[in-house]
Structure 1
Amino acid sequence: MLTKNMGQTDRTLRTVIGVVLLILAIVSLSGAWAWLSGLVGVVLLATAATGYCPPYALLGISTRKSHS
């Protein structure tokens, strides 16, 4: 099981940015930019949904408030 390392603000921002990037990929962008925007959007939404960010784990970062 992956330990959550993202706080609510981080997850909310990732969700909003991920949705915007997906909309751009579908509506406005074309070619490689659309694919890149779509891929980044999906990754942001996936990390927001799980609350786990692999680069944060590698760097020892956590934006999640500890629950004592």
Structure 2
Amino acid sequence: MNFDISKNNIGTTDRMIRIGVAVLLLLGAVRGGSWVAAIIGAVLIATAYFRFCPAYGLFDFSTNKDVTPVVK
């Protein structure tokens, strides 16, 4: 388990996908969709902005290829 927010665990491609899906969810919520979609979109925007995903940290997963893997 690695919850160090100063270490990015979201790569560039993952970040762009998160932003794209978030925009679609937020647009759908504004046009009369579910408030749950808006919350999910906001979380995706936040994780893309900070380049840190707590779920990835829980499982020691990273899509960021710039960081060297931690060997235990």
TM-score where L is the length of structure 1: 0.87
Unaligned ranges ≥5, structure 1: none
Q: How big is each residue's C-alpha offset from its partner over 1:25-57, in whole Å with a ceiling of 9 and x where there is no partner? A: 00141xxxx110000000000000110000000
Where structure 2 has 5 or more consecutive residues not aligned to the other structure, the ranges are none
The Cα RMSD (Å) is: 1.4
TM-score in terms of structure 2 length: 0.82
Question: Whole-Å Cα distance in 1 between the matches of residues 38 and 66 of structure 2?
Answer: 32
Percent of residue pairs identical: 38
Paired residues in the alignment total 64
Choose between structure 1 and 2: higher helix proportion: 1
Q: Runs in 1 of length 4+ with deviation above 3 angstroms? A: none
**1:11 and 1:65 mapped to 2: Cα distance?**
13
